[in-house]
Structure 1
Amino acid sequence: MTFYFNAYSSILLFGFLQGWIYALLFWFRGIREGRLSDRLLAGVLVALCFNIWVYMLGFGGIEILWQQLDFFPRTLAFLLPPLYYFYLRSQFDVTFRFEWKDLSHIVLFVVDAAYRLIVFAQGPSFVRYWENTYHNPLHLDDLFFVVGTGQHLLYLYWSFQLYVHYQSWIKDQFSNTEPVSFVWFRNFLIALALLVSADFMVTMLDLWLNLSFWEDWWNNLVGVVLIYYVSITGYAQRQPGRQLAFSDDPVVLPEQPAADAAKSAIVLTPEQKRLHEQLLNVMDAEKPYLNPDLSLADLARRMKLNTTSISQLINAGSGKNFNDFINAYRIMEFKKQVLMPAHAHLSLLGIALDCGFNSKATFNRAFKKQDNLSPGEFLAQHQQTQ
C-alpha cells in the first residue's frame, strides 16, 4: 500500500498529522491538569481529522475505504457538534460533568454508525446490493448531509447563545474580564460556521456541476486551515487563574406584572438600603477597586454577604453590573489623580494602572463607555477651562 504525495494529498496529510499531534497534546495535558475541556478539544481535532481523511487517502491512491472497508463508518461528522458544544461548556464551568441525559446528544452519531456497521457486517456482496437497491436510489447520503448540516446549525446557535450569556455573566462577576473573556471562542465558532458554509456550497456545486473527485475538495482545504487554527490557537489559549463556575441554566422567578417587575428592579428594602450604604462606605474607605483582579466573590467576602446578595445590591442600587460599578470608581479615582500637580509627570496609562485598571485597552474602553470621550480628551477639556 503506497501513499502518493502530490499537491492535494500532501496538504491534507500535513493537516491530518497536525490534528492528531495536537489532539494527543491536548489529551495528555487534560489528564495531567485534570481539565475535561482539553480532552474534549482533543476530540474536536480528531473529528476534524476524520472529516478530511477520505480525500487524503483518495488523493494518495489508497483505495481501502472504497474496497475492503466500503460502507464502514468513515467520519465523526455527527459527533463533532456535540464535542465543540460541550467543550465550551466545560471551559466556562470547571465543575461540569456529563450526565445520563447528555447521551441524547450522540443519538444521530449512534444511529448513523449502527446503520453502516449493520450493512457492512453482511459482507461485500450485500453492501453492493444494498447500495444499488436502496441506499443510492433513496439518496440516503443526501439525507444524512441535510440532517448533519441542520445539526451543525443548531449546535452553532446553542454555542453562540452560550458564549453571549457567558460574556454577560463575567461582567457581573469580575472587574477584570480579559483573562476570562475567551475571545478566541467567538473566532472558533465563526471558523466552524465557515466550515459548514464551505461544505454546503461545495456540495451544492457538486450536485449542480457533477464535479470530479479532484474538483470538489475545497471544503477539505478549509478543514485543514481550521485544524491548524484550532490546534495552535487552542493550545496557546491562556487558562484563567480562577475556577469558573458559569451555568447557563435558566433561573425560574415568580411571575409578576410587568409594572411591578420594573419597580422591584430599582426599589430597595430598608435592609437593602442599609447594606447598600455600607457597600458605598467600604468602596470609599477601603478602595477595594484598586485591586485589578477584584471579583464579585472577593467583595462579597469583604462585606460578609453571598454573591447573589451583593450582586442585587449593585444592580438595584446603581443600575450597573459589577464590572461597570467597579470601573466607575476606578475612573473617578483616575480623574482625581490625573488632575493632581504632583502627578503631572506621570503617563495617563501609569495613573490608570495605579487606579486598578489592568491594561490600556480596558481603561480606554471603560472611560469611553462612561464619559463618551477618551481620557486624553477629558484632560484636554479640563486644561482648557483653567
Structure 2
Amino acid sequence: MTFYFSVYSSPLLFGFVQGWIYAVLLWVRGRREERLSDLLLGWVLVGLSFNIWEYMLGFGGIEILWRELEFFPRTLGFLFPALCYFYLKSQINADFRFTWQDAWHVVPFLIQVMYHISVFSMGHTFVEYWKAAVHYPYHLEDVEFVVGVGLNVYYLILSMRLYRHYRVWIKTQFSQTETISFRWFRNFLIALTTTMLFSLLMTLLSLGLGLNYWQNWWDELAGVVLIYYVSINGYAQVQPGRRLTFGQLPVLEPVGVTIPLVVDEHKGETALAGIENRQEVTLTQPILTDDLIIWRDTLLVYMDNERPYLDPDLSLIDLARRLRTNASVLSPVINVGTGKNFNDFVNQYRVEAFKRQALDPASQHLSLLGIALDCGFNSKATFNRAFRKLTGQAPREFVESMSG
C-alpha cells in the first residue's frame, strides 16, 4: 500500500500523527506522575485522531477500511464524549478512580462495538448483504448518528455543569483561584462544541446538497485543528501545586438577609476587623448555632491578629489547620457567619491591607502591584479583579481619589 501525499491527505496525516505523539507523551507522563487525567487526555487525543483517519487514508489512496475492514469499528464512537467528561473529573479531583458504578457509561459503546463486530465476523459477503437488507433500509445508521449526537450533548451538559460547580467550590476553598480555575477546559469545551456543530452542519449540507467525498474534507480539517489545539494546550496545562479533591466538602454559598453588624476595631470583635466601624454583612440561613458563633468570633480575632491572609496560597484547609479545627466546621462559619465565600472573605482582608499600605507615606516608593503582593495577592490580574469586585473601583482610581 502506498500513501499519496496531497493537499487533502497531508494535513490529515499531520494531525493524526500529532494526536498520537502527544497521546504517548501524556501516557508516559501520566504513568510517571500517577496522574489519571493525563492518561484520559491521551485517550481523548486517540479518539480525535480516529475521527479523521478514514478520510486520511481515503485521500491517501488506501482503501483497506472500505474493503477488508468494512463494518469493523473504526473510532471510539460512543465512548469519546464520556472520556472528555471523565478527563475533567480526574483533573479537579486527584483522588478520583473508576468504580463499578461508572461502568454504565461504557454500555452504549459496547453495544455499538458488539453490533459491528458481530456483523463483521460473518465475512465480507454477509456484510454487504446486511448493509443492503437491514442496516440501511431500517435506518440503523441514522439511529447510530442520532444516538451519537445525543451522547455528545448529554456529556457536554454534564461537563459544563461539573465545571460550573467546581468554579463555585474553589471560591469556598482557596484564596487564590487563578492557577486552579482550569479555564483551559472551558476553552476545550467551547472548541469541542464548535467543531461538533460544524460537523453537524457539514453532515446536513452533505445530505441536502449531496456533497461528495472531496467537499466533505473541510469537516476533517476542522478535526485536525482541534487535535492541534487539544494536544498542545492540554499537554501544557499547568497542574496545580496542591492535590485538588473537588466533591469532598459541601458548597455553601452566601445568600439571604442583610443585617447591620457593629465592628469594634480595638477589641477585634465580630465581623471583619479593621475595615469600617459599622457595616452591613449578608447572613445566610440557617442562623449560626452558639458553637459556630464562638468559632466565628475566634476566626475574626485570628484574622485580625495573625494576618494569615498574607500567605498567597492560603486555603480553607490551611486556615482550619491553623485554628485547630477542620474545613467542614470552618466552611459554614465563613459562609454563614460573614456572608462571603472563602475567596471573598480572605481577599477582603487583603484589599483592606492594600488600602492602608497604599495610603501610608512610608510605602510611596513601592508600586501598586508591589504593595498588592505584600498584602497576599499573587498576581496583578487576581488583585485587580478582587479589588474591583469588593470596592467597585480600580486600585489606581482608589489611590487617586484618596490622594486628591
* Whole-angstrom CA distance in 2 between matches of 1:81 and 1:312: 36
Given that 1:165 and 1:248 are in contact with CA atoms closer than 8 Å, whether structure 2 keeps it comes out as no
Question: 1:222 Cα deviation (Å)?
Answer: 1.1
* Whole-angstrom CA distance in 2 between matches of 1:223 and 1:263: 49
* Whole-angstrom CA distance in 2 between matches of 1:248 and 1:329: 27
Tell me whether 365-374 or 268-277 shows the greater mean CA deviation: 268-277
Question: What is the match of residue 242 of structure 1?
Answer: 242
SS of alignment partner, residue 77 of structure 2: coil
Tell me whether 268-277 or 235-244 shows the greater mean CA deviation: 268-277
Measured against aligned partners, the alpha-carbon deviations of 1:157-213 in whole angstroms (never above 9, x if no partner) come to 000001000000000111011121111010001111112101110110011011100
Given that 1:9 and 1:57 are in contact with CA atoms closer than 8 Å, whether structure 2 keeps it comes out as yes
Given that 2:283 and 2:338 are in contact with CA atoms closer than 8 Å, whether structure 1 keeps it comes out as no
Question: 1:268 Cα deviation (Å)?
Answer: 2.0
Question: What is the match of residue 254 of structure 1?
Answer: none
* Whole-angstrom CA distance in 1 between matches of 2:292 and 2:133: 73
* Whole-angstrom CA distance in 2 between matches of 1:250 and 1:50: 39
Letter in 2 for 1:42: G
Measured against aligned partners, the alpha-carbon deviations of 1:80-105 in whole angstroms (never above 9, x if no partner) come to 11111001001111111111121111
SS of alignment partner, residue 78 of structure 1: helix
The alignment status of 1:183 with 2:203, answered yes or no, reads no
Pairing partner for 1:323 from 339, 343, 346: 343
Given that 2:175 and 2:313 are in contact with CA atoms closer than 8 Å, whether structure 1 keeps it comes out as yes
Question: What is the match of residue 309 of structure 2?
Answer: 289
Given that 2:283 and 2:336 are in contact with CA atoms closer than 8 Å, whether structure 1 keeps it comes out as no
Counting aligned pairs with the same residue, the percent is: 58
Letter in 2 for 1:282: Y
Letter in 1 for 2:370: G
Question: 1:250 Cα deviation (Å)?
Answer: 7.8
User: 1:209-288, aligned counterparts within 5 Å?
Assistant: 209-247=209-247, 265=285, 267-288=287-308
**TM superposition score normalised by structure 1:** 0.95
Given that 2:283 and 2:339 are in contact with CA atoms closer than 8 Å, whether structure 1 keeps it comes out as no
Question: 1:152 Cα deviation (Å)?
Answer: 0.2
Question: 1:217 Cα deviation (Å)?
Answer: 2.1
* Whole-angstrom CA distance in 2 between matches of 1:354 and 1:155: 43
1:63 and 1:166, CA in 2 relative to 1: closer, same or farther beyond 3 A?
same
* Whole-angstrom CA distance in 2 between matches of 1:266 and 1:126: 68
Question: What is the match of residue 132 of structure 2?
Answer: 132
Given that 2:283 and 2:337 are in contact with CA atoms closer than 8 Å, whether structure 1 keeps it comes out as no
Question: What is the match of residue 381 of structure 2?
Answer: 361
Question: What is the match of residue 268 of structure 2?
Answer: none
Alignment coverage as a number of residue pairs = 377
Measured against aligned partners, the alpha-carbon deviations of 1:334-385 in whole angstroms (never above 9, x if no partner) come to 011011111111111100000000011110100100111101111111112x
Question: What is the match of residue 299 of structure 1?
Answer: 319
Question: What is the match of residue 396 of structure 2?
Answer: 376
Given that 1:174 and 1:296 are in contact with CA atoms closer than 8 Å, whether structure 2 keeps it comes out as yes
**Structure 1 stretches lacking a partner, 5+ long:** 252-257
* Whole-angstrom CA distance in 1 between matches of 2:128 and 2:291: 77
Question: What is the match of residue 69 of structure 1?
Answer: 69
Given that 1:162 and 1:248 are in contact with CA atoms closer than 8 Å, whether structure 2 keeps it comes out as no
Measured against aligned partners, the alpha-carbon deviations of 1:203-246 in whole angstroms (never above 9, x if no partner) come to 10011011100011222111111110111001111111101110
* Whole-angstrom CA distance in 1 between matches of 2:389 and 2:283: 26
**Structure 2 stretches lacking a partner, 5+ long:** 258-281
Question: What is the match of residue 96 of structure 2?
Answer: 96
* Whole-angstrom CA distance in 1 between matches of 2:289 and 2:127: 73
Given that 2:311 and 2:376 are in contact with CA atoms closer than 8 Å, whether structure 1 keeps it comes out as yes
Question: What is the match of residue 276 of structure 2?
Answer: none
Given that 2:4 and 2:59 are in contact with CA atoms closer than 8 Å, whether structure 1 keeps it comes out as yes
Question: What is the match of residue 255 of structure 1?
Answer: none
Letter in 1 for 2:309: Y
1:31 and 1:141, CA in 2 relative to 1: closer, same or farther beyond 3 A?
same
Measured against aligned partners, the alpha-carbon deviations of 1:279-334 in whole angstroms (never above 9, x if no partner) come to 11110110000000000001000111110111111111110000000000000100
Letter in 2 for 1:210: G
Question: 1:264 Cα deviation (Å)?
Answer: 6.4
Given that 1:52 and 1:223 are in contact with CA atoms closer than 8 Å, whether structure 2 keeps it comes out as yes
* Whole-angstrom CA distance in 1 between matches of 2:250 and 2:108: 26
1:263 and 1:318, CA in 2 relative to 1: closer, same or farther beyond 3 A?
closer
Question: What is the match of residue 13 of structure 1?
Answer: 13
SS of alignment partner, residue 225 of structure 2: helix
Question: What is the match of residue 49 of structure 2?
Answer: 49
Tell me whether 149-158 or 74-83 shows the greater mean CA deviation: 74-83
**TM superposition score normalised by structure 2:** 0.91
1:266 and 1:352, CA in 2 relative to 1: closer, same or farther beyond 3 A?
farther
* Whole-angstrom CA distance in 2 between matches of 1:60 and 1:136: 27
Given that 2:173 and 2:315 are in contact with CA atoms closer than 8 Å, whether structure 1 keeps it comes out as yes
Given that 1:166 and 1:246 are in contact with CA atoms closer than 8 Å, whether structure 2 keeps it comes out as yes
* Whole-angstrom CA distance in 2 between matches of 1:205 and 1:45: 27
Given that 2:82 and 2:155 are in contact with CA atoms closer than 8 Å, whether structure 1 keeps it comes out as yes
